[in-house]
Amino acid sequence: MCCCAVAMTVGLAFQDVHSWMSYLSMAAIFLFVSFFEIGPGPIPWFIVAEIFSQGPRPAAIALAGYVFVVFAVLLFGFTIFTYMRVPETKGKTFEEIAAVFHRKRGAPPSKPQEEAEMVQLKSSTEA
């Protein structure tokens, strides 16, 4: 949705310079609406219509729009947190991932193979 909003802005800003930019902004608007309806965008309006009676419903619907803005800000913050703090785990073994978390915690580095063997020995009744 963010990319669609940027494309809408660029298309509308440059539609006087390039005639095809109006088509870009139209496509971006259609995609924005599609992604909004597929995602969690309409949920506050459904909830408001079910909870409030006819009198206070317009004020509640106006407030529901701001709830999504709060959700979007939190989602952006969670995305930044995930990008900055969560390590990449693709193609790594469990021991390598555990070693990355131990290093981030400040624990002394240990040998993953020895730790795996110790876990196996502790759970084994033959040892």
CA distance 98 to 92: 10
- Say whether pTM exceeds 0.75: no
* 67-125 confidence digits (pLDDT tens): 767 877 888 899 999 998 888 888 888 888 888 888 777 655 555 555 655 555 556 55
- Residue 63 pLDDT level (bands cut at 50, 70, 90): confident
The amino acid sitting at 49 is A
- Among the listed residues 88, 91, 92, 97, the one whose alpha carbon sits nearest the alpha carbon of residue 115: 97
17: helix, coil or strand? coil
- Residues 104-116 pLDDT 10s: 776 555 555 556 5
